[in-house]
Amino acid sequence: MDSFSMVAATGVYHFKINHSETKDMDIGEKITSPNFRVGQHDWAINCYPQGNKKDLNGKYVSVFLRLQRKFVDVRSTFEFALLDNDGNVSPTTLRETSHTFTSHKASWGFPGFFERTKLEKTYVKDCFFVFSVKVTIKDESCTGASASWNTHSMCFRHECIQKFQEETKGTDVTFDVHGKNFVAHRLILAAHSPVFEAAFFGSMAESNMDCKIMITEIMPSVFKAMLDFMYNGMLSVNEKLVDCEESISSTSFLQHLFAAADRYAVKNLQAACKYELVQSISLDTVLSILQLAENHNCSDLKNKCLRFVVHKDNFVSLVLSERYINLMQNYPSLLVELKELAEKQDLV
């Protein structure tokens, strides 16, 4: 039996969920987080707001950790908790377990993690509650020669691409973004963006392989986040904000990043931003997200915002605000759509 072993790794991920969107969900219906990486594996959180089994009678929120990969065994310890209103892990909700993730047992967690009524009373803030998961990998192995090679190949590729970015080996293009320089590899950028592909390798591309490109429409921190995503496939807004000179909220940062992804047609990044923006919809953010969705022709994100606006708990607060009035004056088509939705729900 061949195997490929790796050293232990630890990672923490926060999964933010819009509580208002869970109220009408059925038992067994789940919300899945974006993938996040710990060690050399992608993981995801499956949350069942009304519980995953009918015999729980909707009393408990269920939560599970899932390994997003086949043909590999990973022995790990992980702990789930809820974040309190100050953003800290709540000790009273902390639950820990160990499990060996396999192709047949790729998901493990807590069916009766926490009572839903207690969660609503204590851990919902600004319409959201947040799960924290800490994953510690004890060891990981692949069974079978082909599986071992598959794991080794994927890990090797991921590490090498990040290494080339960090060490700037073989870079052949430089971007000047408001005075800050970023170096990159044309092939990697072209693989993710048809816009970059046309610029670097299209019929009008420069023959000189060593050039400098000026970028004026994107903030440096946003451009860096887009480059990082194209190299490692991961979106981590909080980490990007630490290095961000511009003083903006995480939601605003996501909106800028979504716009940049749309401009350069980086579809995977746009989808990742869209998911995070949906999770961040609140009374304070919905109108700006709605405007973004309209400007970038993102119908599913727009529909999420419209449904939030016409919800009976939000409608009056929003329509009386100056931000709402200004938005409707500038986007009359949105006003028509909102009126149609509101009439269906007898709000007007």
d(CA 5, CA 171): 32
Contact 20, 37 (CB under 8 A): no
CATH 1.25.40 in the chain is located at: 281-348
Q: Residue 92: count other Cβ atoms within 10 Å of its Cβ.
A: 10
The predicted-structure confidence for 54-79, as pLDDT tens digits, reads as follows 888 899 999 999 998 766 788 889 99
Report which of residues 124 and 346 the model is more confident about: 124
Question: What pLDDT is recorded for position 17?
Answer: 95
**DSSP string over 111-157:** EEEEEHHHHHHHT-BTTEEEEEEEEEEEEEE--SHHHHHHHHHHHHH
Question: Who contacts 247 (Cβ-Cβ below 8 Å, separation ≥6)?
Answer: none
Q: Where in the chain is the domain with CATH 3.30.710.10?
A: 168-265
Class of domain 281-348 (CATH, top level): mainly alpha
- The larger pLDDT score, comparing residue 144 to residue 47, is at 47
Confidence (pLDDT) at 2: 34
What is the pLDDT, as a whole number, of residue 1?
Answer: 31
Say if CB 238 and CB 253 are below 8 A apart: no
CA distances (Å), 331 to each of 66, 113, 295, in order? 42, 44, 10
Q: What is the pLDDT of residue 167?
A: 59
Of the listed ranges 32-41, 114-123, 157-166, 308-317, the least confidently predicted one is 157-166
The dihedral sign for the CA sequence 345, 346, 347, 348: positive
Q: pLDDT averaged over the chain?
A: 83
3-state helix, strand, coil split of the chain in percent (to 5) is: 45, 25, 30
With pLDDT > 70 as the criterion, what percentage of the chain qualifies?
Answer: 81
- More confident: 239 or 288: 288
Residue 244's pLDDT is what?
46
Strands 128-141 and 9-18: antiparallel
| pLDDT score of 72 | 73
Inform me whether the pLDDT recorded for 286 exceeds 90.
yes
Dist. CA 129–CA 119, nearest whole Å: 8
Give the global pTM. Answer: 0.57
Examine the pLDDT at 82 and tell me if it is beyond 70: yes
Average pLDDT over residues 22-39: 91
Q: CB within 8 A of 322, min separation 6: which ones?
A: none
45-54, 157-166, 181-190: range with lowest mean pLDDT: 157-166
Position 149 scores a pLDDT of 35
Taking residues 323-339, report their average pLDDT: 93
| pLDDT at residue 327 in the model | 94
The CA distances from residue 85 to 63, 93, 125, 227, 228, in Å, are 20, 13, 6, 33, 31
Determine the residue type at 149: W
CATH class, domain 168-265, is alpha beta
Strand partners, 114: 61
Residues carrying CATH 2.60.210.10, the chain: 9-145
pLDDT, tens digit, 9 for 90 and up, residues 120-179: 999 999 899 999 999 988 765 544 333 333 434 444 444 555 555 665 667 889 999 999
With respect to CATH, is domain 9-145 assigned 3.40.50.10440? no
Q: Categorize the per-residue pLDDT at 236 as very low, low, confident or very high, splitting at 50, 70 and 90.
A: low
